[in-house]
Structure 1
Amino acid sequence: MKRIAKFILYTILGWKIENEFPKHPKKYIVIAAPHTSWVDFPIAILTRMSLGTMVHFVGKNSLFKWPFGYFFRALGGTPVDRTKNNNLVDAIIDIFNNKEEFRLGLSPEGTRKKVETWKTGFYYIAKGANVPIVMATLDFENKKVKISVPYYTTDDKEADFRHFKDFYKNIKGKNPELS
């Protein structure tokens, strides 16, 4: 599968990858931005497969119903019921605490629409599970996937978010007007 994914991503689609997902630590959150199109998902899956690193994801539960439910679960997905008032942050912290190895990919925007501020759940999951954050982006303008080194949060949330935003500065998503 890895060879096929590389062939599709590199040869057919013409993408390049800058850096790899870290092998250590074995647990971290991957935040991917900007998330502006459904096309982000297949490119991210091809990237993950090309690098041979499992990065799990959560998605709205409607994606996991028949006929696509099996497919999304096989890709490493877990459904989330966003209509209920549940504490998703604590639930994901528990997953991190109960696994030897776990990587979770999230979009800090929480949607493909243009947003003024990011959601903060990824940040509190990282702090609560004591795991770093790896930043990743799909730079459609240059057809390049960029992956950062692990970043451990500090006690200065504003400085941490400036660090995150700096990584994504000047990156154009598939639909740049939504970035």
Structure 2
Amino acid sequence: MRVLGGWRIEGELPATRQAIIPVAPHTSNWDFFVGVFVMLALGLKLSFLGKHTIFRFPINSVLRWLGGIPVDRRSAQGVVGQMVDEFEQRHELILALAPEGTRKKVSEWKRGFLHIARATQVPVIPVGFDFSRKVIDIRPPMMITGDIESELLRVKQAVAHAVGKNPQHA
């Protein structure tokens, strides 16, 4: 399937009402726009996390329309607790996120998405944004049941082939 700008999608999202989609590598602001184009091309309703401070006028409405969920990292229950609550309250929630947590080079991925998936028993569907081939690579779903460190390795291996827009940041 072709998407805007010559990108193509390999793989399929399973028919599920709830899931977590870690997208990697996250090395550029362009990742967000590619993700929005894919979401619109596939007719998906995805959600994403954003710092509560960016959900202000004049972009608040647009961010929420695109699926933005404001999170307050200062909250006593933390982002993981906030998202577990969201999954418990919503019948449908497909959450896309960047496990690196930033566009800059990091030594480790955030693990919160794995804790959320394990607590809520929703599948994790790894997606690689491969700028070298202009491919959105949707990998098979995984259930997170074991040790978080070994589960993180499984997710990383699923998208290890993907090359970010700025590979030096991966």
Residue 153, structure 1, aligned to residue 144, structure 2: yes
The corresponding residue for 1:23 is 15
| 8 Å CA contact 2:27, 2:164 repeated in 1 | yes
Read off the aligned partner of 1:19 and give its amino acid letter. G
Query: In the alignment, what sits opposite 2:45?
Result: 54
The equivalent residue for 2:123 is 132
Specify the code of the residue in structure 1 equivalent to 2:22.
I
Paired residues of 1:132 and 1:151 also in contact (CA < 8 A): yes
Aligned-partner Cα distance in 2 for 1:158–1:58: 23
Which residue, 49, 74, 78 being the options, matches 1:87? 78
TM value normalised by structure 2? 0.92
CA distance in 1, matches of 2:160, 2:71: 30
What residue is the counterpart of 2:91 in the other structure? 100
Indicate which of 92, 96, 104 corresponds to 1:113.
Answer: 104
Classify the secondary structure of the residue corresponding to 1:70.
Answer: helix
TM-score for both structures, normalised by structure 1 = 0.88
CA-atom RMSD, angstroms?
A: 1.7
| Inter-partner Cα distance in structure 1 for 2:160 and 2:140 | 17
Q: Give the number of aligned pairs.
A: 170
1:148 Cα shift? 1.4
Is the counterpart of residue 14 in structure 1 residue 2 in structure 2? no
Question: For residue 90 of structure 1, what is the amino acid of its counterpart?
Answer: G
Aligned-partner SS, 2:6 = coil
